[in-house]
Chain A
Amino acid sequence: MSHPPLSQTVVKEFQEILGKDNVFTEEADLACYAYDAAVVEPVMPALVVRPTESEKLGRCIKLCNDNGLPLTVRGAGTNLSGGTVPTSTKGVVILSNAMNRILEINEADMYAVVQPGVVTAKFAAAVEAKGLFYPPDPGSQAVSTLGGNVAENAGGLRGLKYGVTSDYVMGVNFFDVNGEIVKSGSKTVKCATGYNLSSLMIGSEGTLGVFNEITLKIIPAPAHRKAMMAVFDRMDKASETVAAIIANRIIPCTLEFMDNFTIRAVESFSKAGLPTDAAAMLLIEVDGYPAQVEEDAQKVEDICKKMGAASIRVAKDDAERDKVWAARRSALSALAKLKPTLVLEDATVPRSKIPEMVQAMQDIAKKYNITIGTFGHAGDGNLHPTILTDKRNKEEWHRVEKAIEDIFDKALSMGGTLSGEHGTGIAKSGFLHRETGKATIAWSRRIKSALDPNNILNPGKVIGG
């Protein structure tokens, strides 16, 4: 498969805008932008460019549009639905990681303005240094970019109480296909002018415009927090406890579930002292004012006991707490260690349906004779059934694909969604109609074709086509 070269004139024009150092043309560079963290076939772009300032970014987009070149914006490339994998070998990948400045953190008005390439964890740390809090904490936050988080509507461990990225976007300022700036939202708490374009852009996965600046809401940091670990000898007891906590009107900031398979994988990697013989465990954290935290923690503990937890351990100090969360954060990669291919699903259900969903995962694993580790954000109904396989084993891979379809159908039948936080990308675009119906996709395609008549903005993602 030889690589179709881009016209030298176009390459030169990119070089004139960005300088030679920021235009990658060699195959061995292009091949590094053919993949992301999703299990999809790599596709090499024809060109990779790295704008260092907004004006140049705008000119790059216009140049792509004028030449009919499909473009895919890429931050850290940690996407789990293939959103940053080009769909065409004629495509251009635009890197956002050289536009990585935090432009403003406004403590008086509690907002921040960032460029799309800022790394999530670095932003969270900068905000924390001022005693404030940016809650969305996707698993890849150590490397993921805020632009990517908004484009995918990334979630994290704190969704249950604090919501997801969309709950913190006050405004997005983005380029349309002609390289013109479109402004949406405001730095004010309230804003009732124009269409709510920010909402349209959140989760649009780079198919409608390219982010230039993002205004994010920041909030006061909670004064106190308490973490605990409840161990169960039966999986159903754990999942029923999740439903019981919510039913008792307690909203922990984090309520995470891990099955035995995941516990063992994580423990062998992290040595955090997890109970490897437990059928399942819940990791729970409550935060807020000290008195309320103590009260909620006591209530949660009581519910766990009542629901039949074999043991409960409350983290003594921050160090112990951090260790537990670090172990949880390593779950995905610890599972990845076990088999060559890992498929991470994030089908999400209304939270009361968690027990049913956990059971369904076990049934599906049995039906197709495959290995599924289940962990995830049980408190917000967002489990991560994780299939471990070897894609080179074609027969097993076929069974895996069947199992994925079953997982999707099961979640939808409970009133759930195909993806809680990873996005549709190319991995799920073929299934979207099952959730939304055909008319929704047709309507979305009309929006897309009106805004992007040449279909150059991350084509093939979300709504296919």
Chain B
Amino acid sequence: MSQIKELTRLMKELEEQLVVCMRCGMCQSVCPLYEQTGREADVARGKLALLDGLMHEMFKDPQGVYERLNKCLLCGSCAANCPSGVSVLEIFMKARVILTEFMGLPPAKKLILRGMLAHPGVFDQMTEWGAKFQKIFTKPVNDTVGTSCARIMSPLIGDRHFKLLAEKPFHRIIPSLDTKPGKSGIRAAFYVGCLLDKIFPHIARDVVEVLRYHEVGIYMPEKQACCGIPAVSSGDMKTFGSLLRHNLELFAPDRFDYLLTACATCTSTIKEVWPVMADRMGEEGMRQVEKIAEKTMDINAFLVSVLGVRGDAEIADKAECITYHDPCHLKKSLGVTAEPRTLLRSNPKYRFKEMLASDWCCGMGGSFNLQYYDISSRIGQKKRDSIVATGCSAVATGCPACMLQISDMLSQPGDRIAVRHPVEIYAESLKTMVR
């Protein structure tokens, strides 16, 4: 009983933020999960009420609240549309931390987060072994999307169609960079991120090439660690703290003018999550986090608003139709919507076409996809239908995690639609120009 008292005491920290929700229920209209299930516990209002109820001891089931709290894409659609301005994501992440620390991290998560993710060297080594052996267990299924599936039934993979780990991760292709700026006069740090490094190294290479083209000095230290979002969303502050410390050592903010990433989730984590979750880092750490957050920018936004890339290419005769999916962590967290579209319009080989509900979540949500693959797929199916309805032969999006989900959704029914990053499209246009 006293344990519950301790929990309610910890939760009081959230009280001022929790009272902001007036239970108007408007989040129901934008929650991709609620649309599928119709269960109040799945929408923000329900989860906020559960936290409130637990705090006021209306009932005593922290385990039940924990499970429901974790059943969330953390897409932020509710927060972006909440007229009362409830800081939904901040509340959810802090509550996950409180409940995880109260009940302990589940063993599987402990193994992955603390055994692997927290140690960048180990994580790199394991994915490299994985890359060597993966072909024994998988076979290619869709060469347009570039996906594979399991050769034999596997409970972990299920019937997913997935992108293989790259044969050579990006850090083996270009381990580090520290170049002086040319005529741009700008020095940018490049934070690569796990998915670009391990699955999409060609996009990371395009980022480097584009920055070189614009004569931006690149600071890219080796042994970069994960941004920490898998840890913080699992409530694992220990792993989050060690990853954050590791990254802070690498990225001293006075070494660059901007910190760039080509991953919507990494950008929004560094910019939005680090500052609210770094209070255990001490004053000096907090100051550094704030400085980095301020300098952090999505690559699309940087290219368009800082370097002035324009989307006014004259469309070529046989232009390919391309559409765009708004990653939640770009549009809803950071308000970046126009810039990636501008990049798509910068390449004469493409004709841009909007899809219906381009900002409806793709259903990925990181570990949500692992835990609730069935719901994740139903949400993804809706995205797939919107993409197919455009008749385009390619879809671009500014988030490698969305790229994985969309690839799976398109590959399963056999759609022949390529999944691209806007930076690839822009880089392609530069290569054509050079020729």
B121 within 8 A of A: no
Task: Give chain B residues whose Cβ lies under 8 Å from the Cβ of A119.
Answer: 29
**Is residue A31 contacting chain B, with contact meaning CB distance below 8 A?**
yes
Other than the known A28-B50, A29-B40, A33-B40, what 4 A-B pairs have Cβ atoms closer than 8 Å?
Answer: A1-B58, A27-B64, A31-B59, A140-B24
Number of interface residues of B (CB under 8 A): 30
A140/B26 contact (C-beta < 8 A), A27-B59, A28-B68, A34-B58 known: yes
- Best-buried of A1, A27, A31 by chain B (most CB within 10 Å): A31
Query: CB distance B40 to A32 under 8 Å?
Result: yes
Given that A26-B64, A342-B22 are contacting pairs, would A31 and B49 also be in contact in the complex, using a CB cutoff of 8 Å?
A: yes
Q: What is the minimal beta-carbon distance from B7 to any residue of chain A, in angstroms?
A: 14
Q: How far is the CA of A33 from the CA of B65 in the complex (A)?
A: 14
**In this assembly, does A424 line the interface, its C-beta being within 8 Å of a C-beta of chain B?**
no
Is B25 part of the binding interface, using a Cβ–Cβ cutoff of 8 Å?
A: yes
Contact in complex: B83, A333 (CB < 8 Å): yes
B-binding segment of A36-44, A174-182, A456-464: A36-44
Task: Give complex CA distance A95, B68 in Å.
Answer: 19
- B61 beta carbon closer than 8 Å to chain A: yes
Interface string of B64-83 (1 = CB under 8 A from A): 11011000000000000011
Q: Tell me, in angstroms, the Cα distance from A207 to B61 when the chains sit together.
A: 32
Most buried by A among B83, B84, B85: B83
Known: A35-B23, A333-B22, A337-B83. A29 touches B39 (CB 8 A): yes
A98→B67 contact, CB < 8 A: no
Is A37 touching B58 in the complex (CB atoms < 8 A)? no
**Smallest beta-carbon distance A137→chain B, Å:** 14
Contact A336 B25 (CB under 8 A): no
Asked if B83 and A31 sit within 8 Å, CB to CB, the answer is no
Once A42-B58, A333-B84 are accepted as A-B contacts, the answer to whether A32 and B20 lie under 8 Å apart by CB is no
| Interface positions of A from 314 to 351, Cβ below 8 Å from B | 330, 332-334, 336-337, 340-342
Closest 9 CB pairs of A and B: A333-B83, A28-B64, A32-B40, A340-B19, A32-B46, A142-B29, A27-B59, A143-B28, A336-B84
Tell whether A78 is near chain B: CB-to-CB under 8 Å.
yes
**Interface pairs (14), CB distance under 8 Å:** A27-B61, A28-B59, A32-B50, A34-B49, A37-B22, A37-B23, A42-B49, A78-B24, A97-B38, A142-B29, A143-B26, A333-B83, A340-B19, A392-B19
Cβ of A310 to closest chain B Cβ, rounded Å: 28
By CB atoms of chain B within 10 A, which of A26, A98, A143, A341 has the most? A143
Query: Can you list, as one digit per residue, whether each of A170-196 has a CB less than 8 Å from chain B (1) or not (0)?
Result: 000000000000000000000000000
Tell me if B53 is interfacial: C-beta within 8 Å of chain A.
yes
* A77 in the interface (beta carbon within 8 A): yes
Of the candidates A1, A76, A269, A330, which one forms a contact with B28 in the assembled complex, judged by CB atoms under 8 Å apart?
A: A76
A389 CA / B49 CA spacing, docked (Å): 19
A337-B85 contact given A31-B58, A37-B22, CB 8 Å threshold: yes
Measured CB to CB, the nearest residue on chain A to B60 is A27
Check A3 for interface membership: any CB of B closer than 8 A.
yes
A44–B39 CA distance with the chains assembled, in angstroms: 16
CB closest residue in chain A, given B28: A143
Q: Is B14 part of the binding interface, using a Cβ–Cβ cutoff of 8 Å?
A: no
Which residues of the other chain, A, contact B41 by a CB distance below 8 angstroms?
28-29, 32
Contact B53 A42 (CB under 8 A): yes
Q: What A residues does B64 contact at CB under 8 A?
A: 26-29
How far, in whole Å, are A76 and B24 apart by their CA atoms in the complex? 10
A-contact bits for B3-33, CB 8 A (1 contact / 0 none)? 0000000000000000110111110110000
Contact with B along A233-254 (1 / 0, CB 8 A): 0000000000000000000000
Chain A residues lying within 8 Å of B25, measured Cβ to Cβ, are 36-37, 76-78, 140, 143
Q: How far is the CA of A295 from the CA of B39 in the complex (A)?
A: 49
Chain A min CB distance to B204 (Å): 37
Most buried by B among A32, A34, A76, A333: A32
- Cα-based distance from A142 to B34 in the complex (angstroms): 14
Hey, which chain B residues are within 8 Å of A390, CB to CB?
19
Given A28-B41, A28-B64: A330 and B58 interface contact (C-beta under 8 Å): no
CB distance from B416 to the nearest CB of A (A): 31
Tell me, rounded to whole Å, the shortest Cβ–Cβ distance linking B145 to chain A. Answer: 33
Which of the residues B19, B24, B67 comes within 8 Å of A37, measured between beta carbons? B24
A334 touches B23 (CB 8 A): no
Q: What is the CB-to-nearest-CB distance from B368 to chain A, in angstroms, rounded to a whole number?
A: 18
In the complex, what distance in Å separates the CA atom of A123 from the CA atom of B37? 20
CB distance from B241 to the nearest CB of A (A): 29
Q: Which of A28, A34, A98, A342 has the most CB of B within 10 A?
A: A28
Q: A269–B58 contact, CB under 8 A? A: no
* Contact A35 B83, CB 8 Å, known A28-B41, A140-B26, A143-B28: no
Identify which of B39, B40, B46, B82 gathers the most chain A CB atoms within 10 Å of its CB. B40
* Neighbouring A residues of B20 by C-beta, 8 Å: 336-337, 340
CB-CB under 8 A from B19, the residues of chain A are 340-341, 390, 392
Write the chain A residue with the least CB distance to B24. Answer: A37
A119, closest chain B residue (CB): B29
- Min CB gap B127→A, angstroms: 37
**Contacts A33-B40, A269-B83 known; A26 to B61 CB distance under 8 Å?**
yes
Q: Would you give the shortest CB distance from A332 to chain B, in whole angstroms?
A: 7
How far apart are the CA atoms of A37 and B68 in the complex, in Å? 21
What residue in chain A is nearest B65 (Cβ atoms)?
Answer: A28
Q: Chain A residues near B39 (CB, 8 Å)?
A: 29, 32
Interface residues of B in 395-427 (CB under 8 A from A): none
Contact of A330 among B49, B65, B83 (CB under 8 A): B83
B139 shortest CB reach to chain A, Å: 36
For B46, the chain A residues whose CB sits under 8 A away are 32
Smallest beta-carbon distance A200→chain B, Å: 28
Is A32 in contact with B49, judged by CB distance below 8 angstroms?
yes
> Would A143 and B29 count as touching, CB distance under 8 A?
yes
A30, A37, A336, A341: the one contacting B83 at CB < 8 Å is A336
Q: Which residues of A are found within 8 Å of B53, using beta-carbon distances?
A: 31, 34, 42
A30 to B39, CA, bound (A): 11
User: Known contacts being A28-B68, A143-B29, is A36 close to B40, with CB within 8 Å?
Assistant: no
Given the complex, which residues of A lie within 8 Å of B83, measured CB to CB? 269, 330, 332-334, 336-337
Complexed CA–CA distance, A95 and B37 (Å): 13
Docked Cα-Cα span, A330 to B46, in Å, equals 21
A91-142: which residues lie under 8 A (CB-CB) from chain B? 95, 97-98, 119, 121, 140, 142
Cα–Cα, bound, A340→B64 (Å)? 26
Tell me, rounded to whole Å, the shortest Cβ–Cβ distance linking B246 to chain A.
36
Complex interface residues of chain A between 264 and 294 (CB less than 8 A to chain B): 269
Residue in A closest to B68 when the chains form the complex, CB atoms: A28
Q: Is A142 a contact partner of B58 (Cβ separation < 8 A)?
A: no
Q: Smallest CB-CB separation from A35: which chain B residue? A: B23
A33 to B39, CA, bound (A): 10
When C-beta atoms are compared, the residue in chain A nearest to B69 turns out to be A28
Q: Which residue of B lies closest to A338 (CB)?
A: B84
Report how far A377 CA is from B50 CA in the complex, Å: 34
A276 to B58 CA separation, bound complex (whole angstroms): 42
Shortest distance between the CB of A126 and any CB in chain B (Å): 16
Residue of B nearest to A268 (CB): B85
Min Cβ gap A265→B in Å is 10
Query: Which chain B residue shows the least CB distance to A1?
Result: B58
- Give Cα A375 to B239, complex, Å: 50
Give the residues in chain B near A3, CB-CB below 8 Å: 59
Which residues of the other chain, A, contact B57 by a CB distance below 8 angstroms? 1
What's the least CB distance linking A44 to chain B, in Å? 7
- A residues less than 8 Å from B82 (CB atoms): 333
- In the assembled complex, which residues on chain A have CB atoms less than 8 Å from the CB atom of B28? 76, 142-143
- Report the nearest A residue to B85, measured CB to CB: A337
CB-contacts of A60-101 with B (<8 A): 76-78, 95, 97-98
